[in-house]
Amino acid sequence: MAEFTYRPGKCKKVYRVVVVRKNLTVEKGELALFDQIRYFFFITNDQLLPPQEIVYFATNAATTRTTSSN
């Protein structure tokens, strides 16, 4: 997990970007086919919460929206 600040070119506001790297193994049955690295970016204007809480809130909010809309 990493974080950095980002300011779009024509914007005066600075945003916080939290990045999560996940190492995934693609499998077919019990056979591991290949490894894959995925990066997930969470952009927020919250400068106070720890990065773990930003990720937790964002992933749970997305899951709640997806399951409640069905």
pLDDT at 17: 97
Can you give the pLDDT at residue 30? 87
**Cα(13)–Cα(55) distance, integer angstroms:** 21
Which pair of tokens denotes residue 21? Answer: 């790297």
Sign of CA dihedral 45, 51, 53, 57: positive
CA angle 62–67–70, rounded 5-degree value: 130
Confidence of residue 46 (pLDDT cuts 50, 70, 90): very high
> How far apart (Å, rounded) are the C-alpha atoms in residues 19 and 40?
6
Per residue in 10-42, pLDDT tens? Answer: 999 999 999 999 999 888 888 888 899 999 999
Distance CA 23, CA 48 (A): 28
pTM reported for the whole predicted model:
0.74
Amino acid identity, position 2: A
